[in-house]
Structure 1
Amino acid sequence: MTDAVPFIDTHVHFWDLAHPELTYGWLQPGVAHPILGDIEGIKSPRFDATHLWAEARFAGVEAFVHVQAAVGTPDPVVETRWLTEMAARYGHPAAIVAHADLAGADVEQVLDRHGESALLRGVRDFAVEPALAADADQRLDPGLRALTRRGLLLDLDCEWPHMPAAAQLARRHPDLVVVLEHLGYPRRRDPEYFRGWRRGIDALAAVPNVHCKISGVGMGDPRWSSESIAPWIGYCIEVFGPQRCVFGTNWPVDRLFSSYDAIVTAYRDAVAGLSDAEQRQVLHDNAVALYRL
């Protein structure tokens, strides 16, 4: 692994179910995930940097970016503070994508409180896609402008039918960095879905301030292989270019479908046909720039 390009994982989740102020409804025993169904296999009481490093330490990984996990917590800043304390203790995560209600009247204050952590790099708000679907996304504009002023990015959860609307949103905010998560979270892997997904990806890739995070590949393809994911990864790199793609594991959620080493190896194999410089971009350098590591 010493000769391999160091890998930066741009999508991981930590949690502590015993934390008195953090809520993780999706991780409670017996609760089925709304899309994945049974995820009991990952529901440990706590998953922090020490647990992740135990799984990832042989994969040539250099840094981790945490993306909100405490979904439903009344004050999302509590999660940022908890993660910042973890980073001071263990060295991970290197950056945080937090939650904020981008349409909320208090979005400026919430972002400023998040910003007390030097690790804050962006926001994910699951309400963005429903707003796109309802043609109500302009109500997000004040929050998106607040992100832009603070140099924070938007981690975007968005399926392909809503990607053209997301592209319009990104055009309205040309100075906002938008990162599409999980290749747009494809729900199916059949040819018809693939054609629709490509149209959505094309719409987003045409907007220069949009980037693509290749992550969560097992969620729509539980029995994935390097061969099955190659067309999806290859198309993202083709249309966004190696300059606008990064990789993430979605760990430990994707442990349901893989081992950590296996997915990172598959990612390395997927870019083996690129030049050495391009491989370094997608595995490492783009993430350093986007998440200011």
Structure 2
Amino acid sequence: MSTRGLHAPVRPEWLAQASETALEPEMAIVDCHHHLWDRPEGQRYLFLDLLEDMEAGHDVRATVYLQAKTMYRPDFPPHLQPVGEIEFANGAAAQAASGIYGRRYACAGIVGFADMMLGNRIEPILEALERAGGGRLRGIRNQTARHDDPAITSNPVPPPAGMVADPRFAEAGRLLPTYGLTLDVFCYHTQLDEIVVLADACPETTIVLNHCGCPLGMGPYKGKREEVFAAWSARMKQISERPNVRLKLGGLAMRVNGFDFHEGARPPSSSQLVDAWAPYMLHCIELFGPGRCMFESNFPVDKGMVDYVSLWNAYKRMTAGFADGERKALFHATAAATYRIDNALLGLA
């Protein structure tokens, strides 16, 4: 199934109309969530595309690559085919680490795919992924975002219902700390009860909830922001009471969230993004605290609605009143600690 239409398409000519310069360009950033891919529908975002965004004005010192079901090895048995994605991301990391491109460590951490529904039979796959990662494998993520309404989808093939709360999923999750790995999870706000079940079932596992818990804004949720916010907030409060959960702030420029910036004549300004997103992100920080939150770009998915400079400017604007230590946590320290990125690598030792 094609991925075309799931997300707003990236339009370079439209994005070129953005004219902001980076605010506080000296602030160190770890972009804790992005993808790389070269897909048959003409979607291409590879190392040099990422590097161009990293060098657009902000001090992005390192990034974390997230599972995107790309570059699988068709010559491998099915459960081991995701090794190809780790090899691919590790290749980009090796390019960045060469020093030819400056001190911008793309893919310093890699989050890959291993089928969590295998339960305790997942271990040989984790070992194969570790070997392919060259010391950079940091976590596992499966495709878990699902809604019964077929119009609400972020994946070409929606996952089965109830997957995150399945005992086999938790059984695999409890093995991850042995390998020093996190468990990244992307769910819609209607699935957040499953995150509570998972966190309780895997108390020693660091679970990283992606994209602010994804408050939906399309389909039956369109035009119901207050109602959705109330339901989302109640579930997020429950999750915040689980100390093993971390939270990524970003991903709200996906179509499923219902924001329509891609329909404007020009890309949104950082001030417009703050107006739209600050209620969600500031509430997340209030619930979880800066030490458990980290900003992400979710590029190139979110690039369909916003350019890289304006995105990070928005994050800087909405936290302008925070203490220095809190901002350091949000922009790099929480991500570095969660994904074991050495401060010496970041130039912060």
TM-score computed with the length of structure 1 as normaliser? 0.85
Runs of 4+ in 1 over 6 A off after TM superposition: none
**What does 1:30-69 correspond to in 2, within 5 Å?**
43-44=42-43, 46-57=44-55, 58-69=57-68
CA distance in 2, matches of 1:148, 1:222: 39
Q: What's the CA shift for 1:162?
A: 2.1
What is the aligned partner in structure 2 of residue 169 from structure 1? Answer: 198
Q: What's the CA shift for 1:135?
A: 8.1
Contact 1:162 1:200 in 2 (8 A): no
CA distance in 2, matches of 1:214, 1:206: 18
CA distance in 2, matches of 1:132, 1:178: 20
Say if 2:98 is the partner of 1:84.
no
Q: What's the CA shift for 1:127?
A: 4.1
**Structure 1: runs of 5+ lacking an equivalent:** 18-27, 30-42
Query: More deviation in 99-108 or 89-98?
Result: 99-108
Say if 2:101 is the partner of 1:101.
no
Say if 2:31 is the partner of 1:9.
yes
Q: Give the alignment partner of residue 192 of structure 1, picking from 221, 227, 242.
A: 227
Secondary structure of the equivalent of 1:266?
Answer: helix
**What does 1:111-260 correspond to in 2, within 5 Å?**
111-116=126-131, 117=133, 118-127=135-144, 133=162, 137-188=166-217, 190-219=225-254, 220=257, 221-223=259-261, 225-260=273-308
CA distance in 2, matches of 1:131, 1:200: 21
CA gap 1:135/1:82 in 2 versus in 1, 3 angstroms: closer
Q: What's the CA shift for 1:233?
A: 0.5
Contact 2:53 2:308 in 1 (8 A): yes
Contact 2:144 2:186 in 1 (8 A): no
CA gap 1:111/1:201 in 2 versus in 1, 3 angstroms: same
Secondary structure of the equivalent of 1:115?
Answer: helix
What is the aligned partner in structure 2 of residue 35 from structure 1? Answer: none
CA distance in 1, matches of 2:196, 2:246: 11
Give % identity.
31
Contact 1:213 1:246 in 2 (8 A): yes
Q: What's the CA shift for 1:55?
A: 2.0
**What does 1:273-288 correspond to in 2, within 5 Å?**
273-288=321-336
CA gap 1:259/1:127 in 2 versus in 1, 3 angstroms: closer
CA distance in 1, matches of 2:251, 2:115: 23
What is the aligned partner in structure 1 of residue 221 from structure 2? Answer: none
CA gap 1:134/1:86 in 2 versus in 1, 3 angstroms: closer
Secondary structure of the equivalent of 1:97?
Answer: strand
Query: More deviation in 4-13 or 68-77?
Result: 68-77
CA gap 1:88/1:135 in 2 versus in 1, 3 angstroms: closer
* 1:184-212 deviation line (CA, Å, top 9, x unaligned): 12221711111111011111101000011
What is the aligned partner in structure 2 of residue 25 from structure 1? Answer: none
CA distance in 2, matches of 1:244, 1:170: 14
Q: Give the alignment partner of residue 110 of structure 1, picking from 125, 137, 141.
A: 125
- Which AA in structure 2 matches 1:113? A
Greater Rg over alpha carbons, structure: 2
Query: More deviation in 252-261 or 184-193?
Result: 184-193
What is the aligned partner in structure 2 of residue 290 from structure 1? Answer: 338
CA gap 1:13/1:191 in 2 versus in 1, 3 angstroms: same
What is the aligned partner in structure 2 of residue 266 from structure 1? Answer: 314
CA distance in 1, matches of 2:28, 2:310: 15
TM-score computed with the length of structure 2 as normaliser? 0.72
- Which AA in structure 1 matches 2:251? G
CA gap 1:258/1:76 in 2 versus in 1, 3 angstroms: same
CA distance in 2, matches of 1:134, 1:113: 24
* 1:45-66 deviation line (CA, Å, top 9, x unaligned): x422211111221122111111
CA distance in 1, matches of 2:116, 2:130: 15
CA distance in 1, matches of 2:25, 2:54: 17
